[in-house]
Amino acid sequence: MGLTRPKVAQMEKPMKKDDPHFWVSLVKSAIRIAACYMLFIGSIEMAAVTLAIAEFAGIGEELV
């Protein structure tokens, strides 16, 4: 058995605008930035809830 080159279809990566993983990652980052803002203004409880939501978005990111 010799080594073969990967097929072109295996080498192609989807464009960023078509990649659902990319978009879920952007949403997750926006949620984390919102949590940082909530910490900045002193709302620790809301920041904790927002970070928990970001973690659920991270789980969703891995499923996409």
Q: In the chain, which residue ranges form alpha helices assigned H by DSSP? A: 8-11, 20-41, 44-63
**Span 17-47, pLDDT tens digits:** 788 889 999 999 999 999 999 999 999 999 9
Token match 């910490």: residue?
39
pLDDT for residue 16? 74
Whether the CB-CB separation of 31 and 50 falls below 8 Å is answered with yes
Whole-model pTM: value is: 0.72
Give me the chain's average pLDDT, please: 87
